[in-house]
Structure 1
């Protein structure tokens, strides 16, 4: 490879590493329970994990700069509050009370403009599984912040 091309590629890689770290920092600041996973993570170079009485899961950043979260056993009221704050009610065809008042089942929405996929699986136990894939960092940080706020409001003082 020509030296000037190799230098340009090295510069790009260095900038990408800064981008990955900034994305990881933003996700961790929005949702402080997320902690960096130790490589190898199995899928993405940037992966974070959390586990608490309020749920558990992972967040990762893929090689295209898109984030994916997979959270389990999160109180559906908090998920519903966060999704209503970010999207309003009705995007998931969940009814007039939003996801917080939705019946058990799977609720799905795909963003045709960004190709992001959102799936909320509400169980009979009042807990939800949240799978949000291929989302821009700005969007996932907004969602994580809304979920963190909803969980904080639900915690006893």
Structure 2
């Protein structure tokens, strides 16, 4: 490879690394439980993971297209419902007038044709949700993570998530 092309590619790689780190920082600022995983991470790098007693666990990865995917398990439905209502309003998945927090057990999904993002939620009978939100722009996933963190913090403080909204 020509030296000037090699330098250009190295410059691009350095800028991409800064982009990845900034994305991780934004996501962990919005959702402080997310912690970086050391390679090898499984699917892609960078990858982050979290776990909190009574609040769930999960992973986040950033693909080489600059899109994030989160896979969370055992998240309290009330907190997730409050976060979704804050961001999307009630009835986003046609789950009923009470919004997602009142959704019956089952699978709810949505594909956003304009952004290519995919959302899938499995509501469990025990009041928890497992969900995957995939191929989402960083600015969108940060908003989702922040709303979820706020709802979980309200629960930790003994309140009802989303009661102020």
TM-score (structure 2 length as normaliser): 0.93
Moved over 4 A (4+): none
Q: Which deviates further from its counterpart, 89-98 or 113-122?
A: 89-98
Q: Does 1:41 align with 2:41?
A: yes
Whole-Å separation in 2 of the counterparts to 1:135 and 1:93: 21
Matched with 1:102 is 103
Whole-Å separation in 1 of the counterparts to 2:69 and 2:152: 20
3-state secondary structure, aligned to 1:24:
helix
Whole-Å separation in 2 of the counterparts to 1:15 and 1:35: 22
Matched with 2:161 is none
Q: Write out aligned runs for 1:60-99 (5 A).
A: 60-99=61-100
Whole-Å separation in 2 of the counterparts to 1:83 and 1:130: 12
Structure 2 segments unaligned to the other structure (5+ residues): 159-165
Q: Does 1:114 align with 2:115?
A: yes
Spell out, residue by residue over 1:105-129, the C-alpha distance to the aligned partner (whole angstroms, 9 max, x if none).
1111110001100011110000001
Q: Does 1:133 align with 2:134?
A: yes
3-state secondary structure, aligned to 1:91:
coil
Shift of 1:156: 3.6
3-state secondary structure, aligned to 1:118:
strand
Shift of 1:130: 1.5
Whole-Å separation in 1 of the counterparts to 2:48 and 2:117: 19
Spell out, residue by residue over 1:39-92, the C-alpha distance to the aligned partner (whole angstroms, 9 max, x if none).
110111110000111100001100100000000000000000001111112221
Shift of 1:93: 1.5
Whole-Å separation in 2 of the counterparts to 1:34 and 1:57: 9
Whole-Å separation in 1 of the counterparts to 2:43 and 2:64: 10
3-state secondary structure, aligned to 1:64:
coil
Structure 1 segments unaligned to the other structure (5+ residues): none
Matched with 2:15 is 15
Q: What is the count of residue pairs matched by the alignment? A: 157
